[in-house]
Every structure is written in C-alpha cells, then in structure tokens.
Structure 1
Amino acid sequence: MTAPLLEAKNLMKRYGNNVALNNVNLTVHAGRTHALVGRNGAGKSTLVSLITGLNKADSGTIQFNGVDAPAAGDLHEWRKHVACVYQKSTIIPHLSVAENLLINRQNLDKKLISWKNVYQNAQNILDEWDIPVDVRAEAGSLNVENRQLMEIARSLSYGARFIILDEPTAMLDGRAIKRLFARMEKLHNQGVTFLFISHHLSEVYDICQDVTVYRDAKHILTTSVAELPKNQLIEAMTGEKYTEKHYSSRELSPEITLNIHQLNQANAYENISFHIKKGEMVGLAGGGGCGKTELAETLVGLRECESGEILLKNKTYPAGNVKAALNAGIGFVPQDRHHEGFIPDLSIAENATLSIMEKLGKWGLINRNKQNALAQQWFKELDIKAYGIEQPVSGLSGGNQQKVVQARAMANNPDLLVMMSPTAGVDIKSKETLLDYVAKSSEKGTSVLIVSDELDDLRACDRVLVMYHGKLTHEFPIGWQDQELIAAMEGLSEPQNPFQAA
C-alpha cells in the first residue's frame, strides 16, 4: 500500500501557556484534494507552520511519502516537499515577476547575473505550468488572481508537488474563483496535490474529496466530503447544533438616507440610480468587471465619477474625497483588510478609533481613557478574541482583524455603512457575529450597502441589486433563490425594469 503523501501524527505545539495544537493528526493522499477547515484559532495556521518547516512541533511526527520530514528550519529541503500560497501575498511588489520567481536563484551558478537567462528561466517555469503572466511585469501590478498563480509557479519550481492554498478565494470574484478551480484541476491532472484551507464551505464540496476539521486546537474528524452533510460539517467546526436562518421582509422607514442619480464613470459603470432607506440593508452583487467595486469606491470617496449626483441625507459631498465622505456620515469596510483596513503594529484600541482621532482630544493629544472606553465597548459587542484592547492587530486571527475593521467603520456612528466582501477569510462563527452586528445596527437606523459575491453575506438584505457589465440589471426582494441570483450575476437572465439594460 502506497504511503500517504503527508502524514502528521500526534502534533503538539505550545506557545507559553497557550496550547496551539493538541495531539492533532493530518493525512493527505496524493491525487486527492484535501480540505482543512475550522474556526479562526482552531490551529490551522499553526499546523501549516509545522508541515512547511517554519516551526518545530513540541512532539509528534511528520512524514512525506513515508520518509521523515527534513529538520525544522532547513527550508531548502522542505520546499522540495511542500509549499504554501498564503492569503496574504508573499511577493515583493517592486520586483519583476521573474525576480520573484527566482528570488535568491538569479545568479544561476555564475558570478554575474545574466538577466537574459533569468527572464528565460522564469518564462520556462510559467510555460511548464501554462501560467499566463508577463515575466517582466512588476509583481505588484498583478491582480490577486495572477499573484496567486505566480506564487503557485514559484512553489512548483522548487520541486514540490504538494501545495497548501490558504484562503485562496477570499479576495477573488466569482469568475476568478472558477478560473482558479479550473487551474487546480489542470495541475491536479499533472500530479499536483492540494491542501485547501477555506471558510467557504460550499467550495469544500465543489473541489475537495477529503476533509479534516479542527476545533479548539484539536483534531475532530477526517472523512470523505461526500459522506459528510453540510450541517454536520458546521456542527463539527462549531461544536454547536446548526440551525439555518430564514429571513422575512420588514417594515422600513420612508426616510431616504442615500440617493444616487445617473452616476457615470467610463469603463466602470453607467447611469446608476438607486436609493437606500434609513435602516435598510441593500446588497450589491455581480461578477468580475461588473462595476460594483468602482461604484462602492465612488460612494466612499476613493474614486471620482464623471457625472451624476450622490445625496446623503439630501446633502452632496465632494466626490473623490475620503475625508469628505467620512464627515458626511459614511463608514467603510474595505475589501482588503490587510492593505486598507488596519495598521498591523497598532493596537486594537488605536485601530478601532482611527476614524475619530480628532474627537478623542485637543491639540493632537489623545485622551487614552476615552479611547480605551470606546474600544472596550466594541471589544465586547463584536466579541473580539484577544488578550486585551492593547494587543497589536497583527497578532489577531483573520476574523478578529475584520471585527476591528468593523469597529473602526462604526466609530463615527455613520448614517451609511458601505461594506465590501465583509466576511472574506472569516470563519462561520465570526461571520455570524459580524452580520448579526450589522443587522442590529440597521435596526437602530444605520443604512447598509453590502457589496459581495458571497451569497450568505446578502441573505439578510432587504433587497439585492445586481450589476452586469457596468449596469444595474436586477433587483431581488428578500427571500430570493440562489439560482436566480447567480443567473442574474452571470448575465444569464433578462434584465428587469426599472434597470432595463440598453
């Protein structure tokens, strides 16, 4: 019988008094895509650090194809067995694709670097795996999808045929996700095995054959995906009985918070008009290139529009001006929390109050007592898991980082909250906490615009608007069916009035 590609047994890892892994196991067989799921803090990241050689287990064993793993820290040998493409990109943005692919290997056994050879070798790597990226392009100019492909190619170039994908779809739209899955299937047919880490459980059922669940640093189960119903998977992750939520329409205030008239921006969106009532939750969905991201960025001051009018509580504010949007009463949760949502080395309290610094003191001096009191309030309301509000945000799990971003967005008590992919890379329990908090905020009068392709983000919305090729084409009331919303997002159903597409 062939030995497993990876077999990790009885792994223990402690950091001080904190038990990060408690006698966990993981067995991955070649030729099968294996999912590793669990809530933030379940131990997934710690396990990845052990099976990639970045850290050493306190006890337990790791084998690749029946042979003991290299010594911890010998990354050159580990790269021959396994590589990880992390949710947070590890590329060096100001270097070219070729330089990133061959980092520390540019010399190619010569005293002087031959850039001709560097570019040719990089191109050979991309060609071998059929990855369409320009080797001379600045790596930072690539979109998220191509950065991931480049990192996969770099991993394969070291000889590894076992790739860990850590939340690979968190920053991708629906079409890019489909392309990634097609690419994974192609690589799978070329002998590459994947360990797939994701909080999007539907994706586990779409592409994985096996699944392992961790909870509270312990191994809960490993089984075939086909034999595990979704409700049982959720219960294994949370340790609680799963009950699906059902939403119904509610009475809304006639007062209008946001009113958009004939908003236009070339190559982004065209003749956009809609309104959001006080306390209303509206979803905005659509595939890649539909214009929803550009429209949301216009509302929050990150982008200008060429024509049209935006009224917030019957008042206009200058387009393309973040400060003006903030002062007008808009809160914003950006799509990429790592680059746009927080400052990693600042504390929870400092990050949560970034948008209201001028309200925390005079003459540039911060009243720490006032700052800490506000931070403690959000710490409790959003159930942020940390040792205290003084902890740097860089040390939090993805779900708790997103909760801090949510707190910052709500700090100025906005009239309109704009959220882009609010639960990307967030575990199922943190998703519930975040979305429940938003729902309660809407009940108190905050209007909400949720911009997302994740259907679970949109279910509680009073309405969902769909954009396709820069135009609003559909409007769905609460209680929509998945199939009809997806068909509209993909342009497979006829546009509706009042958003009739030309």
Structure 2
Amino acid sequence: MNAALEMRGISKSFPGIRALADVDLVARAGEVHAIVGENGAGKSTLMKILAGVYQPDEGSISLNGERTRIAGPIDARKRGIGMVYQELNLVPDLTVAENIMLGSTPARLGFVRRRALTEAATSVLEAFDARIDPGAVLGSLTVSQQQIVEIAKAYAQRPSIIVLDEPTSSLSEHEAQALFHIVRRMRADGIAIIYISHRLREVLDLADQVTVLRDGRQIETRAAEGLTAGEMIRLMVGRDLTDIFPKREVPIGETVLEVDGLTRPGAFADVSLRVRAGEIVGLAGLVGAGRTEVARAVFGLDRAQSGEVRVDGAPVAARTPAQGVAAGIAYVPEDRKRDGIVPSASIKDNIALPVLGGLSTAGWISRGRERTMARTQVETLGVSPPVIERAVDTLSGGNQQKVVIAKWLAARPRVLILDEPTRGVDVGAKADIHEIIGELAAAGTAILLISSELPEVLAVSDRIYVLHEGRVSAELDRSEADEAAVMHAATGEAVRA
C-alpha cells in the first residue's frame, strides 16, 4: 500500500516544554493507523501539526510521496486531510445536510441549490448506511448521530486522510459499533485513517498499525496483529518515579469525607468514595472520565442529581461553593487563571477572598488582620517574591498556584480537593507544592488529589480510585497500585476482566 502520509523527524517545543521529539508517523491508503499514549504524550500536538494549526520546529511532511508544507487548517483541508476532533464542530441550528456540506455548499449566483445540497448529503449518509434524515435540525439528534454527521462532513470533502480523535468518547458500546462500521467502510474506500483512542480494545479491533507515544517521543510502531492491551499499556507507561513527588508517611485518622452514589447524568454515575484525616486519596482516569465533574459536584460548583456527601458524618447540601466552604470543603481548580485567582488583584486580596467574613466586624474589613493573615500564608507556602501587595498575574505559574492553595488554607478546610495542582509549573515548584500537600496531610487534612500525571498520583496517594467513563472502575491500595494497574482500570480493561 502507498504511503498517503509520511511525517519524519517531527519535533515541537513550547516555552519550557518539549512536546515532540523526532517522531515518525507513516499512514498508508486503506489502513487504520492508531496512535496511543497517556494524556500529554504528544498525540494532539502531532495532529495539530498535520492539521496546520502548528508548524514543526524540525522534520518534514510528505503527502502521497510529495514533500509539502501545510500552511494552515484551510490548506490542510485542500490537501485532502480531514480532521474529526473529540469536541464536535457542528452548528446545532442548521440541518444535517447543511452541516455535512459546510464549506462546500452547492450554489448558483449566490443562492444555495437546496436539491443538490440534500442529494449530496444523502449520498454521503447512504454510503455509511446511516439512517439519519438530512433535513433534520442537527440539535435534535443524539450525540452518536451527531458524531456520525461530523465524520460525514469530513468524508464529504473526499479526503485521502482522515484523523479521528477519540470518536467514541461520548458513545455507548452499541453506538460505537455503528461508528466502527463507518471506519471500516472508509478503509475499504482507500482512505488512510489515523485513529486516536484511549479505549485499547477498539484499537486492537480496528487498527492495522499502532504507534505508541510517551513524553513526546515515539516509543514503538508495530502491526496491531498479535499486540495485546497489556503490551500497549507497558509501552505507554514505562517511566520511573522521581523524587519530585516525595511521600510523607503520616498517621491516618477517622473518615472525614464520604461520597455515596453521587450521580450527574452525562457526567458521572454512582460514584462512592472515602477520604480519612491525614490521607491523600488519588482520583485517576483518562480525559473525559469525569474526575473534575465529580470534584465540582462535591464542592458545590455543579449540582448532582442524586447521591449524598458527608463531612465528619454530617450531610452536606453543597449546591453552591459558599455552602461547600461552610461545610469545610475547599477546591483548588485545574484552571487557576480562569477559576482560581483574580489575576489583576494583589496576593493579599486573593488570599483573603474566602475568609472575608472572618476578617470583618459590622461589615468593615480589618485591613490589619487581612495583612497579617496574608503574610502568614505567604511565609508558610514560600510564595516568591513575598510581597503581599503584588499583583498575582506578575508571579510565575508555580507561585500563582501557591497563592491559590494559600487562599483555601486560610479557610482551614477539613477536606481539600486538588485538581491538577502541579499542571503548568516547573520542577522546583512541583516539589514545593508536594511538600505543602504532605504538611497538610500531617496536620490531619483529608486530601482528594486529581492528576493526569500518573507518577504524581502513584507517588503521593495512600489509596487511588480510578474512574472509567464516569464510574469507579477500581479502588487500589498503595501497595497494589502501579501504572499498569491504573491504566488497566482507566481504559476499562479491569472492568471487562
């Protein structure tokens, strides 16, 4: 088979991050080439280079044997590259036919040729054996039907290469089987298909070739035949833990946080977990597994439909963050710039936000108490520079994160939920933050830690709950947890076993 695509020696760096290093990818006509790897392995960066969103720092791209430069997304599309991202890129108020033919709508003298539009869309849907009304408004369809329309839109452009990024992440097993039929149909048509998925069983069912990425590097490319999910997991996670995440042994006390049967349809279902005083419990899972959604519901940012949350045995009706704070729960969000800080405000003002009531008398804030409290937190957490009047957006990422943590520590929570606490910070700041986490656990705080970095979860957690598609798929003690065991549960392999 001919190589529809050859990417050779692709490297890409961002400030402080080596995203890709000397990666090769060859996709052949009439073949499904799967790319697998942990979160942050470089899959998305590689595909954004193919789509023209990024330009590589080094390396070359050839299409059908001809070396080329992809100037941007429109250029990629003109060159026969179709992209189907995990997040649907459709217009809900338009019809199915209008969505499928977006960008290539048949027209004459500025007027849309409605009959030609419908016929063209119908032809694509029939090629997929998809029973979807081309005249239906897209927003009236199910998620699985919209996913098929998204792929049909890419297929309508007559591409030679189609990239499918987590196409089944929102689909049930039955719905996924309909999608697999479409993938096999496109392969039979001679299209080169690049398939990205965390669901290893479907990779083994569909793929002809598999490339494993880890930490921005190509670990191995081999035929899918004879490959097992266990082998893929070992290739994906083959890293050693480092001293960046030291584990501090502390006494474990009584249960502080209890979550029973927490459910929010479409996000997570029947989630139950326990966190004890002084215990660090990891919440692991792949992107889209529901980790952040569970944390937000426990804190009160989002409302669960059913289930119960208790702190120290007392039921918590956390329908707002204020109610969560009043119950003794604090939440450090994954996106600190959007949800964790007021960037233009001072360190002092940010730290004081959750405790303004305690700093006030008859509605007047005591500035002296506010400054004393802020200085104490800055000194305790080692915020640098320790200037409490300084705007937070002038600090480094690691020090901004320390301010977010300081803000909640001032509220003296019984439960601290940390969502990606070391994302986007340098190695030194990671070590500092984990030292702080260890000190908090030693002081008896119950800590729920969410991280996409498996070495982080494994190194500091006393126990780990693993989520797969919104449900708890495993509970692992520290003694039995390793990267392979977590990945088995995160990809659903443990559930099936």
Asked if these proteins are the same fold (TM beyond 0.5), I'd say yes
* Residue 210 (str. 1) matches residue 213 (str. 2): no
1:224 alignment counterpart:
222
1:63 alignment counterpart:
62
* Residue 160 (str. 1) matches residue 159 (str. 2): yes
**Cα–Cα, structure 1 residues 210 and 72, in superposed 2: closer, same or farther, change >3 Å?**
same
* Equivalenced residues, count: 452
- Tell me how large the CA RMSD over aligned residues is: 6.7
Q: Distance between the aligned counterparts of 1:348 and 1:176, measured in 2?
A: 46
**Cα–Cα, structure 1 residues 20 and 264, in superposed 2: closer, same or farther, change >3 Å?**
closer
Q: Tell me how far 1:453 sits from its aligned partner.
A: 12
* Residue 103 (str. 1) matches residue 102 (str. 2): yes
**Cα–Cα, structure 1 residues 149 and 463, in superposed 2: closer, same or farther, change >3 Å?**
farther
> Do the aligned residues in 1 keep the contact of 2:300 with 2:323 (CA within 8 Å)?
yes
Q: Aligned AA for 1:129?
A: F
Q: Distance between the aligned counterparts of 2:28 and 2:418, measured in 1?
A: 39
1:6 alignment counterpart:
5
> Do the aligned residues in 1 keep the contact of 2:468 with 2:491 (CA within 8 Å)?
no
**Cα–Cα, structure 1 residues 97 and 50, in superposed 2: closer, same or farther, change >3 Å?**
same
1:31-180 correspondence to structure 2 within 5 Å: 31-35=31-35, 40=40, 47-54=46-53, 61-69=60-68, 72-73=71-72, 75=74, 78-87=77-86, 89-92=88-91, 98-109=97-108, 111-113=110-112, 118=117, 121-122=120-121, 124-130=123-129, 136-137=136-137, 143=143, 148-166=147-165
**Cα–Cα, structure 1 residues 73 and 452, in superposed 2: closer, same or farther, change >3 Å?**
closer
- The answer for unaligned runs of 5 or more in structure 2 is 385-391
Which residue of the other structure, out of 334, 343, 353, is the alignment partner of 2:338?
A: 343
Stretch of structure 1 that moved more, 462-471 or 98-107 = 462-471
**Cα–Cα, structure 1 residues 201 and 251, in superposed 2: closer, same or farther, change >3 Å?**
farther
Q: Tell me how far 1:5 sits from its aligned partner.
A: 1.6
Q: Distance between the aligned counterparts of 1:75 and 1:61, measured in 2?
A: 19
**Cα–Cα, structure 1 residues 408 and 5, in superposed 2: closer, same or farther, change >3 Å?**
farther
- The answer for unaligned runs of 5 or more in structure 1 is 381-387, 394-399, 494-502
Q: Tell me how far 1:434 sits from its aligned partner.
A: 13
Q: Tell me how far 1:81 sits from its aligned partner.
A: 2.2
Q: Distance between the aligned counterparts of 1:229 and 1:488, measured in 2?
A: 14
CA deviation string 1:64-116 (max 9, x = no partner) = 22234476348256445222334555445665655443333345446333667
Q: Distance between the aligned counterparts of 2:322 and 2:185, measured in 1?
A: 46
Q: Distance between the aligned counterparts of 2:19 and 2:465, measured in 1?
A: 42
CA deviation string 1:274-304 (max 9, x = no partner) = 75322335578999xx999987654222455
Which residue of the other structure, out of 402, 412, 432, is the alignment partner of 2:408?
A: 412
1:186 alignment counterpart:
184
Name which one, 1 or 2, has greater alpha-carbon Rg.
Answer: 2
**Cα–Cα, structure 1 residues 272 and 204, in superposed 2: closer, same or farther, change >3 Å?**
closer
SS at match of 1:279: coil
* Residue 28 (str. 1) matches residue 23 (str. 2): no
> Do the aligned residues in 2 keep the contact of 1:70 with 1:77 (CA within 8 Å)?
no
Stretch of structure 1 that moved more, 145-154 or 269-278 = 269-278
**Cα–Cα, structure 1 residues 71 and 252, in superposed 2: closer, same or farther, change >3 Å?**
closer
Q: Tell me how far 1:475 sits from its aligned partner.
A: 7.2
Q: Distance between the aligned counterparts of 2:114 and 2:209, measured in 1?
A: 43
> Do the aligned residues in 1 keep the contact of 2:166 with 2:196 (CA within 8 Å)?
yes
**Cα–Cα, structure 1 residues 232 and 489, in superposed 2: closer, same or farther, change >3 Å?**
closer
TM-score (normalizing by structure 2) = 0.59
TM-score (normalizing by structure 1) = 0.59
CA deviation string 1:439-467 (max 9, x = no partner) = 74655533245789999998776567799
Q: Distance between the aligned counterparts of 1:113 and 1:220, measured in 2?
A: 46
Q: Distance between the aligned counterparts of 1:300 and 1:252, measured in 2?
A: 25
> Do the aligned residues in 2 keep the contact of 1:378 with 1:407 (CA within 8 Å)?
no
Q: Distance between the aligned counterparts of 1:213 and 1:269, measured in 2?
A: 28
Q: Aligned AA for 1:153?
A: A
SS at match of 1:343: helix
Q: Distance between the aligned counterparts of 2:345 and 2:178, measured in 1?
A: 37
Q: Distance between the aligned counterparts of 1:376 and 1:61, measured in 2?
A: 50
> Do the aligned residues in 2 keep the contact of 1:268 with 1:291 (CA within 8 Å)?
yes
Q: Distance between the aligned counterparts of 2:52 and 2:150, measured in 1?
A: 18
SS at match of 1:158: coil
> Do the aligned residues in 2 keep the contact of 1:94 with 1:140 (CA within 8 Å)?
no
